[in-house]
Amino acid sequence: MLLTKKTLFISLFLGSLGFTSCESKFRDIQKIHDKAPFYPAGIAEKMQGQYIDSGRVKAILVSDKMLDFSTVKYKFTEFPEGIHLTFFDNNNNKNTVVADYAIQYTATELIDLRGNVVITTHDNKKLESDQLYYNQRLDWFYTNGKYKASTDKENFTQGVGVDFDGKLNVIKARNSYAESIKKEN
């Protein structure tokens, strides 16, 4: 069968329309996909994880639910039902971090702790806040929100905005005040 110039032209024209139409549909699908909700690559319930270094347990993480979003562009791990983290310093002293919600961003190594955040050290130093950020690279906590820090049951500092090292030794407070409660005899 011989194709005439007219038949060939019509075939090429219709074929190119089909490709253009497919390209348009493909771009529409991409736009929908970019706006669509994404789902975790993994879900763990009633999980407990340990970080071990040089044969020593350095940290124990317990959470009722962990959502792993490691397949999205900006990877993160979410703990929608809170965390209880126990970590041990070089002298094997036990310290804890508790929060109602947490999210850990992989690329920035930043952890966002929210809701009834309480850090307690082995020597009974305590810091409480509604939200606290932790920079894993720098071992540094900070918040622009309200906080309360105490060294014992009778002395505390509270205010808005604070940042401090992971051992609660170096504290830089902003807009704060200190109070000491003395028992009368």
Query: Which CATH number belongs to the domain containing residue 122 in this structure?
Result: 2.60.450.10
Antiparallel, parallel or unpaired: β 42-53 and 176-180: unpaired
User: What are the DSSP E strand ranges found in the chain?
Assistant: 42-53, 56-69, 76-79, 83-88, 94-99, 101-105, 110-120, 126-135, 140-150, 155-165, 171-173, 176-180
| Structural domain includes residue 1 | no
What is the span of the domain harbouring residue 30? 8-37
Verify that 64 and 131 share a domain, yes or no.
Answer: yes
Verify that 101 and 30 share a domain, yes or no.
Answer: no
171 pLDDT above the threshold of 60: yes
| Structural domain includes residue 32 | yes
Verify that 25 and 47 share a domain, yes or no.
Answer: no
Verify that 18 and 78 share a domain, yes or no.
Answer: no
Q: Does the predicted model carry a pTM greater than 0.75?
A: no
Total structural domains within the chain? 2
Note the pLDDT tens digit of each residue in 39-78.
888 999 999 999 888 888 888 999 999 999 998 888 999 9
Identify the CA nearest to 76 among candidates 104, 99, 114, 101.
104
pLDDT mean over 133-151? 89
Verify that 74 and 125 share a domain, yes or no.
Answer: yes
| Structural domain includes residue 87 | yes
Tokens representing residue 41 in the block: 């690559």
Tokens representing residue 38 in the block: 């994404």
Verify that 107 and 151 share a domain, yes or no.
Answer: yes
Verify that 113 and 175 share a domain, yes or no.
Answer: yes
pLDDT confidence of 125, banded at 50, 70, 90?
confident
At residue 138, the 3 state secondary structure works out as coil
Note the pLDDT tens digit of each residue in 74-92.
899 999 999 999 988 888 9
